[in-house]
Amino acid sequence: MSYQPPFDITAKIINQISAIAEQVGRLNSHGLSASPQLRKRNRIRTIQGTLAIEGNTLSLEQVTAILEGKRVLGQPREISEVKGAIRTYEALAEWKTASIEDFLTAHQYLMGDILTDAGKFRRAGVGIHKESKVVHVAPPAKRVPLLMSDLLDWLDQSEDHALIKSCVFHYELEFIHPCMDGNGRMGRLWQTLILGQWNPIFFLLPIESVIKDEQERYYQTLEKADQAANSTVFIEFMLEIIGNALAQINQGIDQATDQATDQAADQVKRLLAVMDDSYVTTQILMERLGLSHRPTFRKNYLIPALDAGLLEMKYPDKPRSPKQQYRKQ
């Protein structure tokens, strides 16, 4: 490994990693991967967020429609950008983080509909402008293949934590600016890939959407790292973003769980209200509640009441007996 990106491991970074690990543990316990609707919603937020940072004006609703194969009114380039991002994020988990070939393939997926040189390193010099001011001049084009090879080699061999490596790679990629366009999108995409291969939960998080909400600070922090010739400040910023993304998802799941619990509590209350101290059959209870679908009754009423210890079975040794009856405890 011939290249070592300049950065420092600060006490703040160590504390941030610890807090992120705790948040990841909470998400794993929630079983986020088992929620297709949440995964789809977060993927849409990711795509809309990463494109909005680059000036794409399509809304979450329009991105959702494109994902579902519906026609959308909008600028052809912006629609193509969304389609390219959908294609890219769907294939993301298949690629290897340290492969130049996979990196360029991802760029082709992402930008192929709008760039003639998609999937290739740039062959000309580029500068990043903010209004009329040049804020960053990228390395000469002839150096890009070697710089990217060194960076990917470091990524492959470094023993630093994946959270740190993903942030460092993100910054270094923006500094090198290896392609004529799409570098910001690729930096955010590849950070997600690095994190997702450390823990698949990160493939489901809308980190790009949180960056969009902090877009001004995002660019300011990149500039600060350039001025310091050291990515430490960017690592700290991105770890904050990651922590915020995790916290948002955990908070959303907690709220949904509370709502489901409240709903279950209401259904159990309804069941108890039609019962007394006498044993009654399932059929009688369903008639009293005005229900006809036995599986729904068992799932939403009977089992929660039994789990809460609010009902007593007449034949506890034979819980699924066709003669089973229940009464309030």
Q: Is 89 annotated as a binding residue?
A: no
Distances (CA, A) of 120 to 54, 55, 84, 300: 20, 23, 16, 56
The answer, yes or no, to whether residue 16 has pLDDT greater than 90, is yes
Q: Which pLDDT score is estimated for 233?
A: 98
| CA atoms of 305 and 312, how far apart (whole Å) | 10
The answer, yes or no, to whether residue 147 has pLDDT greater than 90, is yes
Band of residue 315 on the pLDDT scale cut at 50, 70, 90? confident
Q: Is 184 annotated as a binding residue?
A: yes
Q: Which residue has the higher pLDDT, 53 or 255?
A: 53
**Whole-model pTM?**
0.77
Q: Is 186 annotated as a binding residue?
A: yes
Q: Which pLDDT score is estimated for 249?
A: 81
Summarize pLDDT for 72-130 with one digit per residue, the tens: 999 999 999 999 999 999 999 999 999 999 999 999 999 999 999 999 999 998 877 67
Q: Is 55 annotated as a binding residue?
A: no
The answer, yes or no, to whether residue 274 has pLDDT greater than 60, is yes
The angle at the Cα of 207, spanning 135 to 113, to the nearest 5 degrees, equals: 70
Q: Does residue 170 have an active-site annotation?
A: no
Give me the residues paired with residue 130 across strands: 133
Q: Is 187 annotated as a binding residue?
A: yes
The answer, yes or no, to whether residue 37 has pLDDT greater than 80, is no
Q: Is 185 annotated as a binding residue?
A: yes
275-278-279-284 Cα dihedral, nearest 10 degrees: -50
The architecture of the domain spanning 11-253 is Orthogonal Bundle (1.10)
For the chain, the structural domain boundaries read: 11-253, 274-328
Instruction: Give the 3-state DSSP-derived string for the chain, with helices as H, strands as E and coil as C.
Output: CCCCCCCCCCHHHHHHHHHHHHHHHHHHHHCHHHCHHHHHHHHHHHHHHHHHHCCCCCCHHHHHHHHCCCCCCCCHHHHHHHHHHHHHHHHHHHCCCCCHHHHHHHHHHHHCCCCCCCCCCCCCCCEEEECCEEEEECCCHHHHHHHHHHHHHHHHHCCCCHHHHHHHHHHHHHHHCCCCCCHHHHHHHHHHHHHHHHCHHHHHCCHHHHHHHCHHHHHHHHHHHHHHCCCHHHHHHHHHHHHHHHHHHHHHHHHHHHHHHHHHHHHHHHHHHCCCCCCEEHHHHHHHHCCCCHHHHHHHHHHHHHHCCCEEECCCCCCCCCCCEEEEC
Q: Which pLDDT score is estimated for 13?
A: 98
Q: Is 183 annotated as a binding residue?
A: yes
Percentage above 90 pLDDT, the chain: 67
Annotated catalytic residue within 30, 107, 170, 177: 177
Instruction: Give the 3-state DSSP-derived string for 50-99, with helices as H, strands as E and coil as C.
Output: HHHHCCCCCCHHHHHHHHCCCCCCCCHHHHHHHHHHHHHHHHHHHCCCCC
Q: Which pLDDT score is estimated for 2?
A: 81
